Amino acid sequence: MTACVQSGAFDAAAQYRALCDAYSGAAIVTFTGTVRDFSASGAVSALELEHYPGMAESLLQDLGDRVARQFSLEGWRIVHRYGRLMAEEPIVWVGVVAHHRAEAFAACEMIMDVLKTDAPFWKREHSSNGAEWIGRAEQDIERRRRWGVGEID
Amino acid sequence: MFGAIGNGMITVKFFSIIREALEAESLELEWTPALNDIAAVKARLIAQGGAVWNEALNQEDVLMARNHRVVLASEPIADGDELAFFPPMTGG
């Protein structure tokens, strides 16, 4: 049950193995998010991810613990990067282990939906038009709202 | 973690577009009973910093945190606290 915030790249396959080695359950769901190579302003060459050290780690840990209680998870891992990432590099990885697929799917989705709006990271896209901070998307707010949870703490 | 060592100071951090507008990552303020909530800290920072700080900290969607938790401006603060101002998060 760990959250890791790091600048270095991670290996999704190694994360999966670590999750399976640590926890036992019949349903395993993982999600990998990568840097999109396009945006409304054109081709994206790189992404800068600023984060709030200390708060980012504690928010992700609290989020994982909260979701684990809600869906009776056997285990979970969250990895989130910060710093400068190139297009198509992995940014975030979430893995959950449960006894049944419904709980595993829902838990992984809830972690990502809440992480998008609550974890203290800020993205700046670099494209041929320069660098631009990305605002919060309305669809992300809607997806977070449907879980019906307040502040994560 | 926070507030246990009351050294008479509070730390204020800034992130993303607010950090850039203020050209400041963090600063320390002497804590006094008059700085009883985050709104009071914000008012103090604007009084010290002027128009640029007023514009940056009064944007409609600025969020505030106390000791790593997002809170309202009315959140009481204490000696040794770490506060932060930032725009909406865009993780993942």
Please state at what angle helix A101-118 crosses helix A138-145, rounded to 10 degrees. 130
Strand partners, A128: none
Strand partners, B66: B69, B83
The CA distance from A116 to the nearest CA of chain B, in Å, is 4
Residue with tokens 């505030």: B64
Report pLDDT for A39: 79
Residue range B34-38: average pLDDT?
94
- Locate the domains of chain A by residue range: 2-145
Q: How far apart are CA B90 and CA B92, in angstroms?
A: 7
| HEC letters along A59-123 | HHHHHHHHHHHHHCCCEEEEEEECEEEECCCEEEEEEEEECCHHHHHHHHHHHHHHHHHHCCEEE
Report pLDDT for A15: 97
Q: At the topology level of CATH, where does B9-86 sit?
A: Ubiquitin-like (UB roll) (3.10.20)
Residue B2: which pLDDT band, with cuts at 50, 70 and 90?
confident
The CA distance from B43 to the nearest CA of chain A, in Å, is 23
| Residues of A contacting chain B (CB within 8 angstroms) | 33, 50, 52, 54-55, 58-59, 80, 91-92, 112, 115-124, 133-136, 151, 153
Q: Residues of A with CB below 8 A from B68's CB?
A: 52, 54-55, 58-59
Angle at B92 between CA A118 and CA B72, to 5 degrees: 15
Interior/surface letters B5-38, b for 16+ CB within 10 angstroms, e for the rest: eeeeebebbbbbbbbeebebeeeebebeeebebb
Query: B37: which DSSP letter?
Result: B
> Over the stretch A44-75, which tens digit does the pLDDT of each residue have?
889 999 999 999 999 999 999 999 999 999 99
Strand partners, A116: none
> Over the stretch A12-48, which tens digit does the pLDDT of each residue have?
999 999 999 999 999 999 999 999 888 777 788 899 9
Asked if B68 lies within 8 A of A55 by C-beta distance, the reply is: yes
Q: How far is CA A34 from CA A9, A38, A117, in A?
A: 11, 12, 17
Under 8 Å between Cβ of A126 and A44: yes
Q: Residues of B with CB below 8 A from A33's CB?
A: 92
Of A54, A115, A153, the CB nearest to B91: A115
pTM across the whole model: 0.94
Q: Residues of B with CB below 8 A from A36's CB?
A: none
Report pLDDT for A151: 81
Under 8 Å between Cβ of B87 and B63: yes
CB neighbours of A8 closer than 8 A, spacing ≥ 6?
Answer: A81
Q: How far is CA A144 from CA A33, A114, A138, B11, B54, in A?
A: 17, 5, 10, 30, 31
Asked if B17 lies within 8 A of A133 by C-beta distance, the reply is: yes
Strand partners, A130: A127
Asked if B90 lies within 8 A of A118 by C-beta distance, the reply is: no
CATH superfamily for domain A2-145:
Molybdopterin biosynthesis MoaE subunit (3.90.1170.40)
Asked if B15 lies within 8 A of A50 by C-beta distance, the reply is: yes
- pLDDT over 70 at B4, yes or no: no
> Over the stretch A97-128, which tens digit does the pLDDT of each residue have?
999 999 999 999 999 999 999 999 999 999 88
